[in-house]
Amino acid sequence: MTTISTILWDVGGVLLTNGWDHKERAAVLTYFGVDRDAFEQRHADPNDAWEKGLLTVEEYLEKTVFYEPRNFTAAEFVEAMKAESKVLEDSALEVLGALVASGAVTLGMLNNEARELNDYRIEQFYLRDYFKVFLSSCYIGLRKPDVKMFRMALDVLQCDAKTVAFVDDRPGNVQAANSVGMHGIHYQGAESLKTELEKLGITVGVEANSRVVQ
């Protein structure tokens, strides 16, 4: 068996709730009384550009929310967006914390997220305590499941794909990782993850991390 030297992690749906997926969008839009259908019709293209770092959050909101006058500000809307981020109910953070403590592998983020939410989540949930590498879509201009994102990760890490595992809750992203030779793991809960890691020769003794913010 090839030794796994690096594990790359999705964040939303594995460690934390999603940053700005349909559930989070629905909650914030309802709070501010914004028509959801009208928003969603405008969302897809600006969101793609925003998550690739090609738009600021203000530019994204101009295209999706503030195309007409509102009785709230962009700053208020952004704060509500950030407030949707929480530790996932069945989070892998404790598994991740145990891997950090063991020092056995290099750990990095490989996620789709817009800069303003990504930076907030890194800070708010102390993700620098866990990760050494941050290959977020907003930093590298690519989004999963584009296989170019996974190939770039291998170039940056200077790793053989066979030595890299990737954890994500979305099967399409896992398939993309597999297609470049990584060991893709479909996240279905912390206990399942430990089992999948053990299959790759990584035994996880979970230790709680006191820096986790609930």
Per the prediction, the chain carries an average pLDDT of 95
For residue 5, pLDDT over 90 is answered with: yes
User: Around Cβ 129, how many Cβ atoms within 10 Å?
Assistant: 13
Side-chain-side CA neighbours of residue 4 (13 Å) = 25
Task: Identify whether the C-beta of residue 152 lies closer than 8 Å to the C-beta of residue 158.
Answer: no
CATH superfamily of 6-17+87-199: HAD superfamily/HAD-like (3.40.50.1000)
For residue 212, pLDDT over 90 is answered with: no
pTM exceeding the 0.75 threshold for the entire prediction: yes
Look up tokens 């629905």; give the residue.
26
Tell me if residue 184 falls in helix, strand or coil: strand
Choosing among 1.10.150.240, 3.90.1150.10, 3.40.1670.10, 2.60.120.380, the CATH entry for 22-83 is 1.10.150.240
Instruction: Give tens-digit pLDDT for 29-52.
Output: 999 999 999 999 999 999 999 999
Tell me if residue 3 falls in helix, strand or coil: coil
pLDDT > 90 in the chain, percent: 93
Task: Identify whether the C-beta of residue 8 lies closer than 8 Å to the C-beta of residue 110.
Answer: yes
pLDDT band of 206, cuts 50, 70, 90: low
* pLDDT score recorded for residue 205: 77
Q: What are the domain boundaries of the chain? A: 6-17+87-199, 22-83
For residue 210, pLDDT over 60 is answered with: no
Instruction: Give tens-digit pLDDT for 51-102.
Output: 999 999 999 999 999 999 999 999 999 999 999 999 999 999 999 999 999 9
